């Protein structure tokens, strides 16, 4: 199996290191000082489960890698529409793109069934720009439950969690998913193939759609948002509205709001990816987290006043930070 990690940041490099440790031929695609460190020292993983170093080849030119069996896409979702030149050299007939993104994916209604089957969400796939670059037929969904951050160029700090749930949009348990899952497990990660990954998407979205924008607005960590009474009430209202949208789409989310809050509090003083992006002057990944959720609420007729308020505030922050 040949795997390319396109966007070998904190999550991508962690996955690449695990796959390399499993004996998979894996290539990391990165840039800048991070790439220089990967080439010089490999991926250094600092983890409560044990530190290790892996030395897969790293490049900034996908043409040096060529076609692979699986692309693990570690880019932010707001970079998908423009990643065509990087992705194209890695593709061949049958190449699967394992998209490790937060929020609602561009393929959400691909082979969904029911009245919304095939529907395109303008918030995450405007004018079909993402589908043109990554055909939904290539997509394997991936919901990341691991928390990592770049401690330094080439150094990944693994904070907690090793689960990467994957699944096909059509709910089949495919050979390509099974093969990728087995490789991930061999590298020490959890990678269940879920018959309906959309349930996992909503479980993860319960946290991402609430904690991520609020953390950017307040600069607070996961623990701080959970223990502050006022913020906890806002998060609770947002989560309940999110669950209402999921139910309207026929998706049963097997977790309660209190359980989701308790899990978030256990993460401790971790800064969300959105807060990290804000601090580093990067674009905020709000379209797939909040804008798409509000579009789904509009489609289903669900009232989401708290989500809309937080979206308005965080959207203004995103515009100001990009100026």
pLDDT in tens, 111-144: 999 999 999 999 999 999 999 999 999 999 999 9
pLDDT at 268 over 90: no
Give residue 163's pLDDT: 97
Angle at 277 between CA 57 and CA 34, to 5 degrees: 20
How far apart (Å, rounded) are the C-alpha atoms in residues 168 and 177?
8
Average confidence (pLDDT) over 234-247: 98
Task: Tell me the pLDDT band of 230, cut-offs 50, 70 and 90.
Answer: very high
Average confidence (pLDDT) over 179-206: 96
Average confidence (pLDDT) over 293-313: 97
Give residue 147's pLDDT: 87
238, 87, 73, 215: which is closest to 144 by C-alpha? 73
Please list the alpha-helical segments (H only) found in the chain. 10-21, 32-41, 84-87, 129-133, 175-186, 197-218, 222-227, 229-248, 257-267, 273-279, 292-300, 305-322
pLDDT at 165 over 90: yes
Read off the DSSP letter of residue 49. T
Give residue 279's pLDDT: 94
Average confidence (pLDDT) over 306-320: 96
How far apart (Å, rounded) are the C-alpha atoms in residues 149 and 277?
11
Q: What is the CATH number of domain 198-322?
A: 1.10.1040.10
CA dihedral 310, 271, 100, 2 (to 10 degrees): 160
Average confidence (pLDDT) over 18-34: 97
Task: Tell me the pLDDT band of 267, cut-offs 50, 70 and 90.
Answer: confident
pLDDT at 202 over 90: yes
What are the DSSP calls for 274-291, one per residue?
Answer: HHHHHHTTPPP--IIIII
20, 10, 5: which is closest to 53 by C-alpha? 20
Q: What's domain 2-195's superfamily in CATH?
A: NAD(P)-binding Rossmann-like Domain (3.40.50.720)
pLDDT at 160 over 90: no
Average confidence (pLDDT) over 74-84: 94
CB-based burial, 225-240: b 16+ in 10 Å, e otherwise: bbeeeebeebbbbbbe
Q: Please, what is the average pLDDT of the chain?
A: 96
Average confidence (pLDDT) over 73-94: 96
CA dihedral 24, 184, 200, 205 (to 10 degrees): -70
Mapped onto helix, strand or coil, the DSSP state of residue 253 is coil
Distance of CA 155 to the CA centre of its chain: 20
Active site residues: 204
Average confidence (pLDDT) over 172-192: 98
**243-to-167, 237, 288, 314 alpha-carbon distances in Å:** 21, 10, 16, 21
pTM for the model stands at 0.92
Query: Domain boundaries in the chain?
Result: 2-195, 198-322
């Amino acid at each position: 199996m040949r795997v390319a990690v396109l966007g070998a940041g904190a999550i991508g490099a962690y996955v690449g290191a695990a796959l390399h440790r499993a004996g998979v031929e894996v290539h990391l695609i990165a840039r800048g000082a991070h790439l220089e460190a990967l080439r010089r020292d490999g991926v250094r993983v600092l983890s409560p489960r044990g530190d290790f170093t892996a030395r897969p080849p790293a490049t900034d030119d996908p043409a040096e890698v060529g076609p692979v069996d699986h692309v693990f896409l570690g880019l932010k979702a707001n970079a998908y529409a423009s990643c065509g030149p990087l992705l194209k050299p890695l593709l061949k007939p049958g190449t699967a793109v394992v998209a490790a993104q937060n929020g609602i994916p561009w393929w959400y209604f691909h082979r969904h069934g029911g009245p919304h089957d095939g529907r395109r969400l303008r918030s995450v796939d405007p004018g079909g720009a993402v589908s043109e670059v990554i055909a939904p037929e290539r997509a394997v969904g991936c919901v990341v439950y691991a928390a990592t951050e770049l401690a330094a160029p080439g150094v990944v700090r693994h904070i907690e969690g090793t689960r990467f749930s994957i699944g096909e949009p059509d709910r089949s348990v495919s050979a390509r998913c099974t093969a990728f899952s087995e490789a991930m497990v061999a590298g020490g990660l959890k990678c269940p193939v879920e018959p309906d990954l959309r349930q996992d998407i909503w479980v993860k979205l319960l946290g991402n759609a609430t904690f991520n924008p609020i953390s950017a607005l307040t600069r607070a960590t996961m623990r701080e948002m959970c223990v502050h009474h006022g913020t906890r009430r806002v998060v609770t209202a947002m989560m309940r509205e999110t669950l209402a949208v999921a139910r309207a789409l026929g998706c049963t989310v097997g977790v309660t709001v209190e359980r989701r809050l308790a899990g978030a509090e256990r993460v401790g003083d971790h800064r969300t990816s959105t807060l990290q992006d804000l601090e580093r002057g990067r674009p905020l990944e709000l379209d797939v987290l909040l804008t798409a959720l509000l579009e789904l609420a509009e489609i289903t007729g669900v009232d989401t006043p708290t989500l809309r308020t937080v979206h308005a505030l965080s959207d203004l922050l995103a515009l100001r930070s990009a100026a």
